Amino acid sequence: MVISSSNSYFKSDSDVLKISSPKKLNIKNFPQNGQIQIYQSSYRGSFSSIISDSLRNAALGRKVLLVQFMKGGVNQGIDNAIKLCGNLTWVRSSNSFNQYHSDEIENNKKLKQSIHESTYELWNFCKKELLSGENDQIILDEIFLAIEMKIIDKHDLISTLENRFLSGDVILTGTDIPKDLLLMANQITELRS
């Protein structure tokens, strides 16, 4: 067994740590850049590990925003976000794709419009949060399905990510991920069944 203590090193060998330099260094602190992480899977509903990580991060004191674009059924919406662990804000669309069968949506124009409007309202909320810099982590669950369904414009997402406040991490999940977004990612994780 090896036991190491940095305190004993500093106390006994403090002369080793003295740095002599003829020039004074001008050191500036830069904010840490947040990463764009993409989690992709061949099937929906495979991102439960990301949700548990968001809970863990919130419990550790990080401010987390979890947005589920295609999940619903709890009459939630932006005004009824759920707060967990004091630091996790969990938001679902007030009228979502998952609440109905796809045939039912396609055959009912009012229903389809309502789903699109509530999903787009959620996206506008996310854009403000991405640009505010108030969150340490933002998870945009199934945002690529919203792009595929032409509810959210891919170029709007790219522009928002490019102009976001850089200190927080952004996690994007989905099945069919556009190549432009894959190229922006710092990390890509493929989940397999």
Task: Residue 53: give its domain's CATH number.
Answer: 3.40.50.300
> Which among 62, 38, 50 is positioned nearest to 135, based on CA atoms?
62
Q: Is residue 4, in this structure, part of any structural domain at all?
A: no
Q: pLDDT tens digits for the chain (193 residues)? A: 333 333 333 344 444 444 454 555 554 444 456 899 998 887 666 567 788 888 899 999 999 999 998 876 666 888 888 888 889 999 988 877 666 777 877 888 888 888 889 899 999 999 999 999 899 999 999 899 889 888 899 999 999 999 998 788 999 998 888 899 999 999 998 877 6
Strands (DSSP E) found in 12-130? 36-41, 64-68, 82-84, 88-92
Res 23: pLDDT: 57
User: Rounded CA gap, 129 and 75, in Å?
Assistant: 21
CA distances, 76 to each of 41, 62, 92, 111, 123 (Å): 26, 23, 6, 17, 15
18 found inside a domain = no
pTM, two decimal places: 0.77
Closest CA to 66 of 41, 48, 40: 48
Per-residue pLDDT at 78: 86
CA pair distance 160, 157, nearest whole angstrom:
5
At 99, list the tokens: 């609440």
| Domain span including residue 42 | 33-191
**Would 174 be classed as within a structural domain?**
yes
Confirm whether 120 is domain-assigned: yes
Quick check: is 2 in a domain?
Answer: no
